[in-house]
């Protein structure tokens, strides 16, 4: 059993896609063990995406991630990190496989509907960024 952090991004929340995305998550045997709506501040978005701060898309990414509410969730299941990355599809929706969340719903490489942790170490850091121990079963 493994846990990963999922963020349903502002583009998807604005289009009422939380239910559609969670259906795909659950159909693929991942359990949503914690879930909350949050509006990221500029500081929070800059800190969460700190590893990207030298990238040319950083300021635009922070503006996008603070443009509306996000749904942050902890997913649990077998190989949850890799499994969720497969369910999400490639970062750029143009490269994403058929049936993946990003192929189905993403608008662009930036407004790509979902985020998922990319490693076990980052999953722990990202889950702790949004959730206290008491919020996790």
Nearest residue to 137 (alpha-carbon basis) of 48, 74, 43: 74
Q: Residue 26 has which token pair?
A: 């659950």
| Residue 115 in contact with ligand CMP, rule: CB under 6 A | yes
| Residue 67 in contact with ligand CMP, rule: CB under 6 A | no
By CB under 6 A, what part of segment 69-98 binds ligand CMP?
91
Sheet with 70-77, edge to edge strand ranges: 31-38, 70-77, 2-8, 114-116
| Residue 57 in contact with ligand CMP, rule: CB under 6 A | yes
Q: Which of 107, 110, 122, 124 binds ligand CMP (CB under 6 A)?
A: 110
38 is catalytic: no
Cβ distance to ligand CMP smaller for residue 71 or 112: 112
Q: Which region among 13-21, 23-31, 71-79, 108-116 touches ligand CMP (by CB under 6 A)?
A: 108-116
Cβ distance to ligand CMP smaller for residue 44 or 110: 110
| Residue 109 in contact with ligand CMP, rule: CB under 6 A | yes
Strand 2-8 and strand 31-38: the pairing is unpaired
**What residues line the site for ligand CMP (CB under 6 A)?**
52, 57, 61, 91, 109-110, 112, 115
Catalytic residues, by residue number, are 115
């Amino acid at each position: 059993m493994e846990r990963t952090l999922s963020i349903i991004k502002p583009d998807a929340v604005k289009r009422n896609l939380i239910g559609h995305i969670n259906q795909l998550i659950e159909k693929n045997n991942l359990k949503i063990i914690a879930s909350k709506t949050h509006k990221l501040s500029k500081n929070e978005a800059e800190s969460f995406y700190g590893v990207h701060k030298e990238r040319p898309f950083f300021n635009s990414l922070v503006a996008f991630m603070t443009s509306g509410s996000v749904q942050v969730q902890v997913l649990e299941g077998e190989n949850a990190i890799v499994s969720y990355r497969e369910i999400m599809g490639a970062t750029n929706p143009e490269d994403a496989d058929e049936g993946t969340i990003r192929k189905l719903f993403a608008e662009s490489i930036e407004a790509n509907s979902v985020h998922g942790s990319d490693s076990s170490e980052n999953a722990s850091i990202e889950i702790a960024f949004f959730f206290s121990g008491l919020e996790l079963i």
